[in-house]
């Protein structure tokens, strides 16, 4: 924009402050102690006019609305929030001129990233949004900030991966669908960053093992890696993955090829399915992190996969608790299928599913084993996904609101939706690694078996299917996306679950039978339209008193 005349020195002296507007710029020009300053007039906190502020003898400008304080010379925020931009001024023959030229892009980016780091460390959602907007104003891609944010977040996740980083893949996918609306895109990016900031808030960086040294050109020694995961040797498993990432990155650079995530996805998927791990998160994350690396590039691979492996090892192994203990033997007893041409591709009819939802795990395993001799893995996946959607339609939401319950009876929508998101990950990974189908399908069976005490009677299904029927899938998805862009939820885990469930259903509609499709859509609609109790104060105290033994 170059230099522009603002006012005369005499007028400024008489008025004390002059507000100058040109294009997108609005400046407060002040004189104090014989010196002139030009500063953005809008306080970065909430936009109130700094021209109405108070300046002390040390040339510190206070915004009188919320007491934010800025150095007039540098624009530095004295209270640790985002800074305000200052502009060069020149006095030419008694006239004041200001330079509105934007600084070099590299300088702007460095300034914004420093501000974004402060916003991230404070988990200040407004500040995060402002720094993203500043990147846009400078003609820089706001998405380019995400690799740095991931590098700030990942080392602070003590127990490994959370939803925040994998969920970024879904927020980016939603942003890609909103290309005509910059505001919507910035919402998606700010939601992703806010979630990462929430999960890392006030956490230190935890030590991470160095990459395993060696000249082996193989990306990852799968047996050694799986053995390290099985014995919960975090340092060795992390060291092996870091070395593999380094080798794959070097190979891609040398050959001018894309980073081959698939060479890591196979052993990661196998490790994820060695046990029934913590609601299936490990396999879901394996898929989502691959999407994120493909979108943001291999520079993030080390950070995200270190966190992923740590999370996989620290995850609770639910197949070791009584409810799911039959799983290990069920994997060993999984029948060898008949030759593929002899297997029925399905779909398995609804009558065969009647009575399955609400059963404990052993009869469901027997059901899976029996049909594995007759049907393709894809047909079983379709049927088990439909069973998971049926459970969502029969979820007794009053139980999710209840307070006078035991810890074992704590239940909510997130306990049910993983049946769908995990099923999507199973199909994606088992389609490229068919040896994993038995483990994937049997773990889908675990999702059908769990939460059976929290279901409405079987006869409630027909009414739920009718009430939540979806005639226009595109309209449903559009409505959910609009809801997520202004969700109003204080805890980021809730909107990201709706988002990932919506994307999983959308994706699986292309792979399921006509019998399953309406059940899946109805389940999604019911979930998206339901309120979620995000805090259980009475339940927490009730359960604490019961544990301690006071009344």
Burial of 167-195, coded b for 16+ CB within 10 Å and e otherwise, reads bbbbbbbbbeebeeeeebbbbbbbbbbbb
Grouping H, G, I as helix, E, B as strand and the rest as coil, residue 65 is coil
Report yes or no: 1 and 22 within 8 Å, Cβ to Cβ. Answer: yes
Listed residues 49, 70, 99: the one ending a domain: 99
Same domain, 292 and 150: no
Q: Which domain holds residue 125?
A: 105-200
Tell me, yes or no, whether 464 lies in a domain: yes
Same domain, 85 and 112: no
Same domain, 357 and 409: yes
Q: What is the pLDDT of residue 329?
A: 97
Grouping H, G, I as helix, E, B as strand and the rest as coil, residue 140 is coil
Q: What is the pLDDT of residue 57?
A: 81
Both tokens of residue 10? 């005499």
| Of the candidates 146, 219, 170, 174, the residue with the CA atom closest to the CA atom of residue 425 | 170
84/38 Cα distance (integer angstroms): 11
**Residue carrying the six token digits 């894309």:** 258
Tell me, yes or no, whether 546 lies in a domain: no
Same domain, 382 and 504: yes
Listed residues 45, 66, 99: the one ending a domain: 99
- The pTM score is 0.93
Q: What is the pLDDT of residue 214?
A: 59
Same domain, 370 and 506: yes
Same domain, 429 and 347: yes
For 177-261, where are the alpha helices, taking DSSP H only? 182-200, 222-230, 234-255
Tell me the average pLDDT of the chain. 94
Q: What is the pLDDT of residue 550?
A: 92
Tell me, yes or no, whether 376 lies in a domain: yes
Report how many domains make up the chain: 4
CA dihedral for 481, 486, 488, 493, sign (positive or negative):
positive
71/488 Cα distance (integer angstroms): 35
Q: What is the pLDDT of residue 408?
A: 84
Both tokens of residue 438? 């038995």
Report yes or no: 149 and 135 within 8 Å, Cβ to Cβ. Answer: no
Same domain, 354 and 490: yes
What HEC string does 434-491 produce? Answer: HHHHHHHHHHHHHHHHCCHHHECCCCHHHHHHHHCCCCCHHHHHHHHHHHHCCCCCCC
208/105 Cα distance (integer angstroms): 34
Same domain, 413 and 499: yes
Same domain, 409 and 531: yes
Looking up residue 59, the CATH number of its domain turns out to be: 2.102.10.10
Q: How is 491-506 classified by DSSP, letter by letter?
A: STHHHHHHHHHHHHHH
Tell me, yes or no, whether 277 lies in a domain: yes
Report yes or no: 215 and 247 within 8 Å, Cβ to Cβ. Answer: no
Tell me, yes or no, whether 43 lies in a domain: yes
Same domain, 392 and 518: yes
Same domain, 395 and 506: yes
Tell me, yes or no, whether 58 lies in a domain: yes
Which residues have CB under 8 Å from 431's CB, separation 6+?
none
Grouping H, G, I as helix, E, B as strand and the rest as coil, residue 337 is coil
Q: DSSP assignment, residue 277?
A: B
Listed residues 56, 75, 99: the one ending a domain: 99
| Of the candidates 318, 410, 326, the residue with the CA atom closest to the CA atom of residue 361 | 326
Sheet strands side by side (includes 89-92): 3-8, 95-99, 89-92
Counts of helices then strands in the chain (DSSP H, E): 23, 10
How does pLDDT run along the chain (551 residues), one tens digit per residue? 699 999 999 999 889 899 999 988 999 999 888 889 999 999 999 899 999 999 988 889 999 999 999 999 999 999 888 999 999 999 999 999 999 998 899 999 999 999 999 999 999 999 999 999 999 988 999 999 999 999 999 999 999 999 999 999 999 999 999 998 999 999 999 999 999 999 999 999 999 988 877 545 667 899 999 999 999 999 999 999 999 999 999 999 999 999 999 999 999 999 999 999 988 999 999 999 999 999 999 999 999 999 999 999 999 999 999 999 999 999 999 998 777 788 888 899 999 999 899 999 999 999 999 999 999 999 999 999 999 999 999 999 988 888 898 888 888 898 999 999 999 999 999 999 999 999 999 999 999 999 899 999 999 999 999 999 999 999 999 999 999 999 999 999 999 999 999 999 999 999 999 999 999 999 999 999 998 888 899 999 999 999 999 98
| 33: number of Cβ within 10 Å | 9
Tell me, yes or no, whether 550 lies in a domain: no
Tell me, yes or no, whether 548 lies in a domain: no
pLDDT digits (tens, 9 = 90+) for 184-209: 999 999 999 999 999 999 999 999 98
Cis peptide before 495 (omega within 30 of 0): no
Same domain, 362 and 399: yes
């Amino acid at each position: 924009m170059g230099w522009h005349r603002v006012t005369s020195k005499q007028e400024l002296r008489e008025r004390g402050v002059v507000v100058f507007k040109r294009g997108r710029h609005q400046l407060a020009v002040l004189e104090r102690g014989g010196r002139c300053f030009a500063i953005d007039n809008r306080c970065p906190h909430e936009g109130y006019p700094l021209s109405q502020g108070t300046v002390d003898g040390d040339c510190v400008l206070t915004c009188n609305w919320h007491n934010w304080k800025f150095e007039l010379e540098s624009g530095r925020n004295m209270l640790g929030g985002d800074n305000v931009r200052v502009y060069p001024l020149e006095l030419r023959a008694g006239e004041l001129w200001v330079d509105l030229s934007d600084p070099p892009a590299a300088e702007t980016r460095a300034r914004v990233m420093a501000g974004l780091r402060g916003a991230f460390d404070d988990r200040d959602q407004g500040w995060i949004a402002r720094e993203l907007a500043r990147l846009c104003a400078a003609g820089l891609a706001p998405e380019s900030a995400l690799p740095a944010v991931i590098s700030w977040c990942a080392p602070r996740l003590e127990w490994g991966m959370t939803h925040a980083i994998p969920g970024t893949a879904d927020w980016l996918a939603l942003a890609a669908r909103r290309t005509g609306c910059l505001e919507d895109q910035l919402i998606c990016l700010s939601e992703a960053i806010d979630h990462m900031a929430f999960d890392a808030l006030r956490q230190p960086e935890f030590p991470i093992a160095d990459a395993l040294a060696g000249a082996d050109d193989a990306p990852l020694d799968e047996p050694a890696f799986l053995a390290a995961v099985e014995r919960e040797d975090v340092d060795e498993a992390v060291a092996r993955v870091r070395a593999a990432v380094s080798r794959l990155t070097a190979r891609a650079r040398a050959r001018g090829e894309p980073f081959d995530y698939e060479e890591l996805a196979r052993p990661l998927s196998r490790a994820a399915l060695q046990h029934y791990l913590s609601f299936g998160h490990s396999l879901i994350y394996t898929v989502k992190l691959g999407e994120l690396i493909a979108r943001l590039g291999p520079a993030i691979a080390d950070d995200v996969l270190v966190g992923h492996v740590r999370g996989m090892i620290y995850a609770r192994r639910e197949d070791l608790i009584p409810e799911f203990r039959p799983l290990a033997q069920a994997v060993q007893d999984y029948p060898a299928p008949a030759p593929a041409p002899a297997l029925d591709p399905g779909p398995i009819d609804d009558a065969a599913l009647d009575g399955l939802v609400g059963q404990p795990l052993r009869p469901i395993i027997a059901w899976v084993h029996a049909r594995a001799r007759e049907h393709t893995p894809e047909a079983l996946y379709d049927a088990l996904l439909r069973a998971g959607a049926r459970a969502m339609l029969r979820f007794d939401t009053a139980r999710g609101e209840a307070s006078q319950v035991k810890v074992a009876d704590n239940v909510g929508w997130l306990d049910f939706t993983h049946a769908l998101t995990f099923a999507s990950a199973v199909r994606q990974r088992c389609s490229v690694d068919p040896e994993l189908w038995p483990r994937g399908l049997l773990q889908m069976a675990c999702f059908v078996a769990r939460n059976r005490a929290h279901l409405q009677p079987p006869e409630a299904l027909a009414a739920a299917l009718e009430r939540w029927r979806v005639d226009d899938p595109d309209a449903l998805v559009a409505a959910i996306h609009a809801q997520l862009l202004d969700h109003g939820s204080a805890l980021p885990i809730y909107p990201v679950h709706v988002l990932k469930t919506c994307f999983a259903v959308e994706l699986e509609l292309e792979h399921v039978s006509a019998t399953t499709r309406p059940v899946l859509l109805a389940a999604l609609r019911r979930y998206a339209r339901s309120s979620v109790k995000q805090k259980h104060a009475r339940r927490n105290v009730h359960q604490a008193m019961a544990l301690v033994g006071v009344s």
